[in-house]
Homo-oligomer: A and B are copies of this chain.
């Protein structure tokens, strides 16, 4: 069933130990959409400038991603650049030019509003909230956030996530949001803020899912080469929500089927792992659903005992 993805579509400059690309397609909503589109139909909401290249539109369109909500305005597309540390566990931002993204005020096309699934990428909490309000028949909604919103827009963020079914954040964000350094104690605090499902992403170490008093570990896939981790967390989110939307999963009395949630987290890890295999979105130019299924089975082999 249809999934609305809201967030940044950008150009990125990235340097990793494997090379340097001055400008390539990026942005959270791009990665989320490309990953989710393997599982369900995706409708994108984002803003780009008049420099946004036809070939990048074509890539998104080739995945049957609905671009009716991709606003195009005069000016330049959001640009971000950064450089990764030798082990690629840290990165330093070199440049952030918001450009047209500074005026982003997502308005959903009429055709998007009845969609049952919503994934909100990391943008201003007030904007995330306004999108949620435009979708009266939602079945499942959630998203991502970051330290900046947790620290400086805490009230707005808490109001926003109170309406979400799930929250996907990394471990340092979970600590910041909960005020608890211990993850086992941080999780119930966050679950009291509204979302009944919490996924804590731990980079190369995988993710932990919390729901209904249970938790589940997804390991990080051991890649032989990590070319570029940019977008891996967003692809995780895309695989997670894409799988749930594709299966038509929805909460019943606040509870989501535990087996399906666990599989969704593994598909998230699968999509995050593929993302790192090439620069930017390149892996998604050739990736097939059969490769995704094969890696899902590999996760089973590597964790069952």
Residues of A within 8 A of B (CB): 86-87, 181-185, 202, 205-206, 208, 214-217, 219, 222-226, 259, 262-263, 265-266, 299-305
User: A302 — which chain B residues lie within 8 A by C-beta?
Assistant: 214-217
Please give the count of copies of this chain that the complex contains: 2
**Which of chain B's residues have a CB closer than 8 A to the CB of A226?**
182
Measured between alpha carbons, how far is A266 from B225 in the docked complex, in Å? 27
Chain B residues closer than 8 Å to A263, beta-carbon distance: 305
Interchain Cβ contacts under 8 Å between A and B, 8 examples: A182-B226, A183-B222, A184-B223, A215-B222, A216-B302, A219-B219, A262-B304, A265-B305
CB–CB B301/A305 < 8 A: no
Closest 4 A-B residue pairs measured CB to CB?
A: A217-B219, A262-B305, A205-B205, A184-B222
Main secondary structure on A side of the interface with B? mixed
Inter-chain CA distance A222–B185, complex, in Å, is 9
Nearest opposing residue in chain B for A304, CB measure: B304
A301/B262 contact (C-beta < 8 A), A184-B222, A223-B184 known: no
Q: Which residues of B contact A259 (CB under 8 A)?
A: 305
* A276 → chain B closest CB, angstroms: 11
Interfacial chain B residues near A304, Cβ < 8 Å: 262, 303-304
Bound together, the chains give a CA A202 to CA B301 distance in angstroms of 20
